[in-house]
Amino acid sequence: MDDDLTIGGEKFSSRLIMGTGGAPSLEILEQALAVSGTELTTVAMRRLDPSAPGSVLDVLRRRGIKVLPNTAGCFTAGEAVLTARLAREALETDWVKLEVISDERTLLPDPIETFDAAERLVADGFVVLPYIGDDPALARRLEQAGCAAVMPLGAPIGSGLGIRNPHNIELIVESAKVPVILDAGIGTASDATLAMELGCDAVLLATAVTRAQRPDLMAQAMRSAVVAGRQARLAGRIPRRRYAEASSPMNP
């Protein structure tokens, strides 16, 4: 079935976007990414450490995975814009996962700073994918501002709490004309499936795989989960009923 995901005019056959944080080693990360089938994967920008062994960029290049730099760790629009510009320079991509957090305890995204940064980055020619709360109004405003996708959270980063407000995710999906990517909070395969069943176009996850006891096996599970959820969404689920509806003939 031809069912590509299109973001910013670029097509992807996998609807699983991976993060790279939390993996115990680059070898384990590479294996998990390969098994996941992902075609788009995030990295963070940090001060160059001359003693760091190996590079996550080499892993992505070897596997032919498109790199999606993020602005993780930024608290203000100004920091995020600078980080995005540095990422563009270092990685030669104008794609950016915009992430502006409000505090270190929850890592929840700051909507005001995020919107400000999104406007500035769109004006600067970036393909902007903003990480946001599950807020349909903000999602709409960011789409109107020219973002290439919106990335509402299911639950706080790394929490593994799943999708805390499926209703809001559905509301975002209903009105969005750009891809909706469920980002953050995925704990296990059923969370990823639910995201896709709710109508999300893709799922972004990292910790659920990289900190699993067997990252490669969880990566495989997530790959299947995203496909299953997408197929179920396209297939159209039956309505929920209060009482039984016989699936076998009732007459003798």
In the bound complex, what is the minimum distance in angstroms from residue 44's beta carbon to another protein? 3
Residue 34 lies near another protein (rule: CB under 8 A): no
149 is in an annotated binding site: no
Task: Find out whether 8 and 201 touch, Cβ atoms under 8 Å.
Answer: no
The HSE-up count of residue 113 (CA atoms within 13 Å, CB side) is 20
Could you tell me the two tokens for 210?
């990289």
- The answer to whether 185 is annotated as binding is yes
Among positions 53-92, residues that touch another protein (CB under 8 A) are 55-57, 67-70, 72, 82, 85-91
Say whether 202 counts as a known binding-site residue: no
Closer by beta carbon to another protein, 60 or else 171: 60
Q: Is 42 in the site for another protein (CB under 8 A)?
A: yes
Cβ neighbour number for residue 217 with a 10 Å cutoff? 13
Which of the residues 11, 66, 97, 177 is marked catalytic?
97
Residue among 113 and 197 whose Cβ is closer to another protein:
113
Compute the distance between CA of residue 87 and CA of residue 106 in angstroms, rounded to an integer.
Answer: 25
Q: Candidates 9, 50, 64, 239: give the one binding another protein (CB under 8 A).
A: 50
Q: Is 185 an interacting residue with respect to another protein (CB under 8 A)? A: no
The number of beta carbons lying within 10 Å of the beta carbon of residue 165 is: 15
Residue of 48, 235, 238, 244 interacting with another protein (CB under 8 A): 48
- For residues 75 and 32, give the distance between their C-alpha atoms in angstroms, rounded to a whole number: 30
The 10 Å Cβ neighbour count of residue 172 is 25
Q: Is 97 one of the annotated active-site residues of the chain? A: yes
For residue 151, give both structure tokens.
């990335």
Tell which positions 105-144 bind another protein, by CB under 8 A. Answer: none
Q: Which residues contact 68 (CB under 8 A, 6 or more apart)?
A: 17, 40, 41, 42, 43, 93, 95, 96, 97, 129
Scan residues 6-25 and list those touching another protein (CB under 8 A): 19-23
Residue 124: strand, helix, or coil: coil
44 is in an annotated binding site: no
Among 43, 118, 192, 200, binds another protein (CB under 8 A): 43
Selection from 35, 31, 36, 34 nearest residue 16 by Cα: 36
Catalytic annotation, residues: 97
Which residues of this chain interact with another protein, rule CB under 8 A? 19-23, 26, 29, 42-48, 50, 52, 55-57, 67-70, 72, 82, 85-91, 97, 99, 204, 206
Binding site membership for 1-deoxy-D-xylulose 5-phosphate: which residues?
Answer: 158, 184-185, 206-207
